[in-house]
Structure formats: C-alpha cells, structure tokens
A and B are shown apart, each in its own frame.
Chain A
Amino acid sequence: METQQSIFISSLKEPETKEKAFKRLVQEYKERLYWHIRKLVLDHDDANDVVQNTFIKIHLNIHKFKGESSLYTWMYRIATNESINFINSKSAKMGLQNQEWIEAKAEGLKADSYFDGDEATLTLHKLIAKLPEKQRIVFNMKYFDGITYESMSEILNTSVGALKASYHHAVTKIKSKLND
C-alpha cells in the first residue's frame, strides 16, 4: 500500500500533476528551508537567493528522488549543499576563506536591518561563525531547530556518533569563548 508521501512524490513526478504538487511543496517547506539556509548564510538577501535556487534544484531533480530517505531530509540536504556552494562561490570571488567570509557576515549583523537579536544573540552568532563548517552546520541544526541526530545523519550523510561529537566540540568551544 502506498504511503501518503509516496503518493505525493508520484504527483511531483507526473507531468500532469507536477506544478500543483510543487506549489504545495513550496507552501509547506518554504519557511523551514529559508530559516535553515538563513542561519547558514546569515544575510537575508543571500538566503533569498539560496532558497530560490534550492527550490529550482528540487523542481529540476525531483525525478531523481528515489525515496530512500524522506522528502524532507532530501530537501534539507539540497538546501545545505546550496548554502555551502553559495558560501564557496562568494568567498572565492572575494579572495577569502569560507570562514573569513562568514565571520565578516556575522560582524555585520549588528548593522543588518533584518537582525533584531540582542547583544547575547549577536555574540552567539559571532562565536558560531568561528566554528569549522561542519560544526557550524550541526550546531545550528541542533541548537536552533532541535533536529534529531537521526534526521541530521540522513541529511548530512554522517554517522550519529560523529554528529554528537561535532555538536559536543561546538558547544565546548562556544562555552569556552563565552567564559573568556
């Protein structure tokens, strides 16, 4: 018996029903994917570019989705990779390392009209920006979104143990910097 998800995926693949199903998909996931991306790229305009590109990739590649993971984790994976590609591209153009670019973005948050966090939140984002890429991704997904290690494992194609270690390292570094 077909599950609700597999029926929905079929409708995303069928030319006659694709557009209607895709509209439903956008309605359902636009905010979740946007916020995931926003925490990785920090800037609203950048997040806007990446979330649009993410959905275009989903639209173009839905026929390749084999249903081995849930649709949600597959889309999160695309969003994460699109964010990383975006950061790679932007930092390379400016002759910076990815982390330097992210740290510069975090430094600029105070002047960002679409950031209204308090000093503590600003400090937290600056410290997150100093983490290595994977720790930064894992910390954001776990701390802000409460995504389970099992889901993260599917999204990031990494073992639960490695994810727990990444999160632990990230938390330790942030705590240590906060205590300095």
Chain B
Amino acid sequence: MTDFNTKNPFKIPENYFKELEENLIENIQPTQKVHGFNVPKYYFNSLEETILRKSKKSSPFSRRKLIVSFTTLAAALALLFTIPSSQNSETQIEEQAFNDYLESYYLEDMNGYEILSMLEDNEIDPYFDNSTKNYK
C-alpha cells in the first residue's frame, strides 16, 4: 500500500515542464510589443468627429478655390510691388487688407503644416521613392 502512494506510474516527455513554461510565456505575450505611448482620454472619439468635420470642409472644390485664391493673391501682390513708390502708403493699406482677408476667411483654422501640405499637393508615391531610396 505504501508503494501505491509514493510511486507515480505516469511519465512525461523529457524537458516537458521547461518547454511548457516557454510555450505558455510565448502564447500569453501580446502580439504587439509595448511601445509606451498613450493618448488623452476619449481622444479617438473626438478624432473621428474632427476628421469628419474637416473632410466636409476640404472638398476638392474648396481646395481648388483656395489654390485659385492663393494664385490671385500672389498676382495681386506682384502688381502692388510694381506700382510707383509715391503710392507706397496706399499699397501698404491694400496689402494689409489682403492679408486680413486671407487670415479671416481662409487661414484661421489652419496651422502651418496644413497650409504647407496644401501647397505641396503632389502625388505621394514619387515623393516616397525619392525620400527613402538612399536607405537600406
């Protein structure tokens, strides 16, 4: 009877427990590594609303309109600079009025990056090829 209590009749494969531990650790680890970044609470809800609001504002039509406005402004400024110096004060007033108009109606909701990105509306693929081709 004593033998029954102390002898274990079952056997396991060699290194079973070592491998079991390794397998378990491997399986319970998240597939994504921890990167340490976090975001403000409810950020993704507000992000969705912001994107949808901005996407409505930035239809292709309004973008074309903006580019036309920039072109018009550039042409107007070029003309203003060619006016004789006797009209300098008048020119400055007109230039200021143009700047105020632009800031009030087009640029108030944009940061520098957005404005820049609108002026660089090229295809993305060629840019990426050029910007990364030197690295391996």
Segment 150-166 of A: residues with Cβ below 8 Å from B: 156-158, 162, 165-166
**A146 touching B32 by the CB < 8 A rule?**
yes
**B113 touching A89 by the CB < 8 A rule?**
yes
Chain A residues, CB < 8 A from B113: 49, 53, 86, 89-90
The one of A22, A51, A134 that contacts B135, using a Cβ cutoff of 8 Å: A134
Chain A residues, CB < 8 A from B52: 19, 22-23, 26
Indicate if A107 sits at the interface (CB-CB under 8 A).
no
Bound CA span A48–B95, Å: 34
> Knowing A34-B47, A51-B47, A56-B51 touch, does A134 contact B32 (C-beta < 8 A)?
no
**A52 touching B47 by the CB < 8 A rule?**
yes
Query: Interface on chain B toward A: helix, strand, loop, or mixed SS?
Result: helix
**B54 touching A52 by the CB < 8 A rule?**
yes
Chain B residues, CB < 8 A from A122: 36
Bound CA span A162–B54, Å: 38
**B136 touching A169 by the CB < 8 A rule?**
yes
Count of chain B residues with a beta carbon within 8 Å of a chain A beta carbon: 41
Segment 86-136 of B: residues with Cβ below 8 Å from A: 111-114, 116-117, 120, 124-125, 127-129, 131-132, 134-136
Across the two chains, which residue of chain B brings its CB closest to A87? B131
Indicate if A72 sits at the interface (CB-CB under 8 A).
no
Indicate if B33 sits at the interface (CB-CB under 8 A).
yes
Bound CA span A109–B36, Å: 10
Bound CA span A26–B47, Å: 9
Can you pick out 15 interface pairs between chain A and chain B where the beta carbons lie within 8 Å of each other? A22-B55, A34-B44, A48-B43, A52-B54, A60-B63, A77-B125, A81-B124, A81-B128, A85-B127, A114-B38, A114-B40, A117-B37, A125-B35, A156-B132, A157-B128
Residues on A lying within 8 angstroms of B by beta carbon are: 19, 22-23, 26-27, 30-31, 34-35, 38-39, 42, 44, 48-49, 51-53, 55-57, 59-60, 77-78, 80-82, 84-86, 88-90, 93, 109, 114-118, 121-122, 125, 132-135, 137, 143-146, 156-158, 162, 165-166, 169
